[in-house]
Structure 1
Amino acid sequence: MTWRQRLSRWDVRSAPYLYISPFFLLFALVGLFPLLYTGWVALHKWSLIVGNQGFIGFGNFAYVLDQPRFWDGVVNTFSIFLLSSVPQVIAAIAIAAVLDANLRAKTFWRMGVLVPYVVAPVAVSLVFGQLFADQSGVINSLLGTSGVDPIGWHADRFASHVAIATMVNFRWTGYNALIFLAAMQAIPRDIIEAAVVDGANRWRTFIGVTVPLLRPTIIFVVITSTIGGLQIFDEPRMFDTFGLGGPDREWMTVTMYLYELGWAGQRNLGRSAAVAWLLFLIIVIFALLNFWITRRIASTDTRSKRKRVAR
């Protein structure tokens, strides 16, 4: 082979790896290295002011797991996550279905649902903090006109979780709606028309045809919502002026506890890094659980298709 042929053969083999290498290089720089370095810090007594004070093994992990505040943060995080993710996915699918219909000024409405996403989280938290104020809030004023007693949004644990979940839903529902809208537009119209010809109404067509075809997108949105929901920080941090998660830590999340250990309170980066790694392991477990559920759903669909073909 001539050198030109060898160069061409090498180019064909190596070009795909060169095209994807920038992502992996960037990921190694801003993702993998900080993750490994955080694990190294978690194994040491590491102060924000003094620095590394020696290797202590899993002492930081033992300290964190023995703290009631850490488990309160875990419970609060999952509570806010469930209160935000489940209604968010349902509302996003409903909004996407409306945007997929024959509306006037489609571009305007599709751009409009994305406006809350581009608003700064701090601004959203400040506005909703006034809406959910305990004494002079708009929500309590409206409830008072209906004869309902005011709700202590900053005193009751569940009420504070509902308020923070409302902020999250306000910001992310439109974003997920556009993802579902793109998936709906990718569905062949022949399938929808066939269902209509068979006598199915709009609701039956949506539930029996559109939603099952959106299953891969729903799984994707659930996974991304899980990863983002377990790392929630901005909304609960700005829910009051103190930023500690309430007087009794009613809405303190895991990331807020991480911040308190590392910077706001003890300034112990080793314990803060241990919390970060525990949160990372929790996210990995949920990602593997979602992957397992996805495989089960895919295998179930394959078996049902084979049974239909056999019949």
Structure 2
Amino acid sequence: MAVLTDRRSAPESGAPQRESRRLGFSQRLGRWDVKLSPYLYISPFFILFAVTGLFPLGYTAFVSLHEWSLLGGQGEFVGLQNFTDVLNQPTFWKSLVNTLSIFVLSSVPQVIVAVTIAALLDQNLRSATFWRMGVLIPYVVAPVAVSMIFGRLFADQYGLINSLLTLIGLDPIAWHGDRLASHVAIASIVNYRWVGYNALIFLAAMQAVPRELYEAAVIDGAGRVRQFFSITVPQIRSTVIFVVITSTIGGLQIFDEVRMYDATGLGGADKNWMTTVLYLYDVAWGNQHSLGRASAVAWMLFLLIVVIGFVNFLVTRQISSSGMASKKSRRKSATTSMSRGNA
């Protein structure tokens, strides 16, 4: 009877073991689910980025190393010959200078005016929604339409700007003949389109600043200007870095405004406002019909954007960090003086 009892009890003792094994497997499966599920959730972004971003970037590098024509397709492997040919063309260097000039004339005023407008919209205004939507209208309008309108405003003979200058006794400006004047006109188009968009980004950052800081500043007797430079600007420093970097990337890739600025669309007769992207377009689809050299231009522009964007990031971060450090030192000195006075 004892043997029978042991045999009958053996399966009963094995059941909990199998159940514990099942629980162990489910626990392991749950652990893998916890580890892998975040990566599965974000995988669509990386897949789309690899297909639409990394693959074109790598394929452009592959094309830039070959003699690749528009009609004949892939040719012989030429190495860095396309880069050398582009660097030896004076038009490339002229387009690069034009791009940097328009970038400086558009990015710096763009950030300053956008911060100012955001600070005004952050006040207690009547119909605040109307004004906030109003500054976004230029961004919604198609860039081709905006460029055509501004091209007529800055016309040399019958433009509205020259008519106003003549009306007040000034000489008309050759907006399509003078190099610097054309850069100012194109920069005005860029600023008109992007100031409102950046202003809303700054406004969102300003509304996230704790209002207790402003209340404490009012109690201490600080005015609006003092509050802006001592509280608002340090609190939105990360947003300033973001806007500066995005403005750098967009400013160095300007194409629509330059393309539609005049009837020719290729920077004028003397290439006075031909940017690097417009030069790339001309190399690929214009006179040269060389996709290999155009890919080389694209890669050099990509490296230039990375370098300038990184420099802007370092400079803006250094300025913001130094401002925060000086602010902390002033707080420490004030606290020390108060503690000595109490002692």
Q: TM-score, normalised by structure 2?
A: 0.87
Residue among 95, 98, 119 paired with 1:76: 98
Question: Structure 1 pair 292/70, CA: closer, same or farther in 2 (3 Å)?
Answer: same
Q: Corresponding residue for 2:212?
A: 190
SS of corresponding position for 2:68: strand
Distance 1:24 1:32 in 2: 10
Q: Corresponding residue for 1:104?
A: 126
Q: Which residue identity lines up with residue 62 of structure 2 in the other structure?
A: W
Residue among 133, 149, 152 paired with 2:171: 149
Distance 1:259 1:146 in 2: 40
Distance 1:218 1:57 in 2: 40
| 2:71 is equivalent to residue 49 of structure 1 | yes
Q: CA deviation at 1:297?
A: 4.3
Question: For structure 1, which runs of at least 5 residues remain unmatched after alignment?
Answer: none
Q: TM-score, normalised by structure 1?
A: 0.96
Decide whether the 8 Å contact of 2:67 with 2:76 is kept in 1.
Answer: yes
Q: CA deviation at 1:305?
A: 6.7
Decide whether the 8 Å contact of 2:86 with 2:293 is kept in 1.
Answer: yes
| 2:311 is equivalent to residue 289 of structure 1 | yes
Distance 1:96 1:255 in 2: 31
Q: CA deviation at 1:302?
A: 6.7
Distance 1:171 1:306 in 2: 38
Distance 1:298 1:91 in 2: 19
Question: Structure 1 pair 302/178, CA: closer, same or farther in 2 (3 Å)?
Answer: closer
Distance 1:257 1:125 in 2: 18
222-231 or 5-14: which moved more?
5-14
Q: Corresponding residue for 1:175?
A: 197
SS of corresponding position for 1:103: coil
Question: For structure 2, which runs of at least 5 residues remain unmatched after alignment?
Answer: 1-22, 337-343
| 2:58 is equivalent to residue 58 of structure 1 | no
| 2:23 is equivalent to residue 11 of structure 1 | no
Distance 1:22 1:283 in 2: 27
Q: Which residue identity lines up with residue 228 of structure 1 in the other structure?
A: G
SS of corresponding position for 2:79: coil
SS of corresponding position for 1:53: strand
Distance 2:32 2:265 in 1: 57
Q: Which residue identity lines up with residue 239 of structure 1 in the other structure?
A: Y
Q: Corresponding residue for 1:242?
A: 264
Deviations 1:129-188 (A, max 9, x none): 110000000000000001111100000000000000000011000000000000000000
Distance 1:68 1:22 in 2: 43
Distance 2:28 2:93 in 1: 60
Distance 1:208 1:7 in 2: 53
121-130 or 292-301: which moved more?
292-301
Question: Structure 1 pair 27/143, CA: closer, same or farther in 2 (3 Å)?
Answer: same
Identity of aligned pairs, percent? 64
SS of corresponding position for 2:74: strand
SS of corresponding position for 1:54: strand
Residue correspondence of structure 1 range 79-98 to structure 2 within 5 A: 79-98=101-120
| 2:181 is equivalent to residue 162 of structure 1 | no
Q: Corresponding residue for 1:252?
A: 274
Q: Corresponding residue for 1:27?
A: 49
Rg larger for: 2
Residue among 244, 249, 258 paired with 1:227: 249
SS of corresponding position for 1:256: helix
Residue among 278, 289, 292 paired with 1:270: 292
Q: CA deviation at 1:306?
A: 6.6
How many pairs are equivalent? 311
Q: What is the aligned-residue RMSD (CA, Å)? A: 1.5
Q: Corresponding residue for 1:215?
A: 237
